[in-house]
Homo-oligomer: A and B are copies of this chain.
Amino acid sequence: MKTVLLTGFEPFNKEPINPAWEAVRALDGWTEGGFHVVARQLPCAFGAAIDTVRAAIEELKPVLVIAVGQAGGRMDLSVERVAINVDDAPIEDNAQRQPVDQPIVAGGPAAYFSTLPIKAIVQALRAAGLPASVSQSAGTFVCNHLFYGLMHLQAKRPKMRAGFVHIPYLPEQAARHPGTASMALGQVVEGLRVAVRVSLDASVDISAGAGATH
């Protein structure tokens, strides 16, 4: 039985809830044709987030890791293309740290690309009636930090696929932030099911444009 690791952060930035954790914990224990899912919560803190995912990978030896994070203000399930080697925090993390222009891994590559089949995932999400897109930037806060750290671990485990998906606010959060989009929890969960299935099925990604002029 193959193991799939899904991670979601604890709440941050004064939110009482994190939709990423709510979504992945709803999938904890999900078992289907040859794989089962383990969900783990990560601290929203520089350093500790990577330490926690590293320990989980060493413990669980997953074939697939999808890290999920809240992107308040985004409209859809956005599948991240690339993690960059810099922390530049616009707000404090949950440990009251706010690094500016620090490398995540000193001497590490400037960036890592997701090894998920990001185009195939977006195509499958849209076919399932779920709004989705490829994102060219995961920001420079804890989400990008964790994504970069995860891909740095993945680089030494070529049989493990890994990547990051940003999700919108839940409706109950958007109700407190007028002018922001939202997505129902059930649809985020369904979207993650699609992402897991496609990631395990697709040996290589499809060729489909999802770029940006700027």
B75 in contact with A137 (CB, 8 Å): no
Residues on the B chain within 8 Å of A64, using CB? none
Interface mask (A62-85 → B, CB under 8 Å = 1, otherwise 0): 000000011111111000011011
Binds B, one of A25-33, A52-60, A168-176: A168-176
Chain copies in the assembled complex:
4
B contact residues around A76 at 8 Å (CB):
174, 178-179, 182
Interface string of A102-113 (1 = CB under 8 A from B): 000000011111
Tell me whether A211 and B110 are in contact in the complex, defined as CB-CB below 8 angstroms, given that A132-B175, A174-B131 are known contacts.
Answer: no
Partner of A129, one of B128, B136, B172: B172
Min CB gap A133→B, angstroms: 5
Query: A88: nearest residue on chain B (CB-CB)?
Result: B211
Closest to A98 in B: B209
| Secondary structure dominating the interface of A | loop
Q: Is the CB of B212 within 8 A of A140?
A: yes
Which one of B110, B128, B172, B174 contacts A110 once the chains associate, using CB atoms below 8 Å?
A: B110
A86 at the interface (CB under 8 A from B): yes
B residues within 8 A CB of A129? 171-172, 175
Docked-complex contact A212 and B113, CB < 8 angstroms? no
Q: A139 touching B141 by the CB < 8 A rule?
A: no
Q: Is the CB of A171 within 8 A of B212?
A: no
CB–CB B131/A178 < 8 A: yes
A203 at the interface (CB under 8 A from B): no
Which residues does chain B contribute within 8 Å of A176, judged by CB atoms? 126
Q: How far is the CA of A143 from the CA of B172 in the complex (A)?
A: 27
Chain B residue at minimum C-beta to C-beta distance from A134: B88
Q: Is the CB of A131 within 8 A of B100?
A: no
B98 and A84 contact, CB distance less than 8 A: no
- What is the CA–CA distance of A172 and B125 in the complex, to the nearest angstrom? 10
Question: Of the candidates B131, B166, B186, B214, which one forms a contact with A139 in the assembled complex, judged by CB atoms under 8 Å apart?
Answer: B214
11 interchain pairs, CB-CB under 8 A = A70-B214, A81-B86, A85-B111, A88-B210, A89-B211, A91-B213, A100-B208, A131-B174, A141-B214, A143-B213, A184-B187
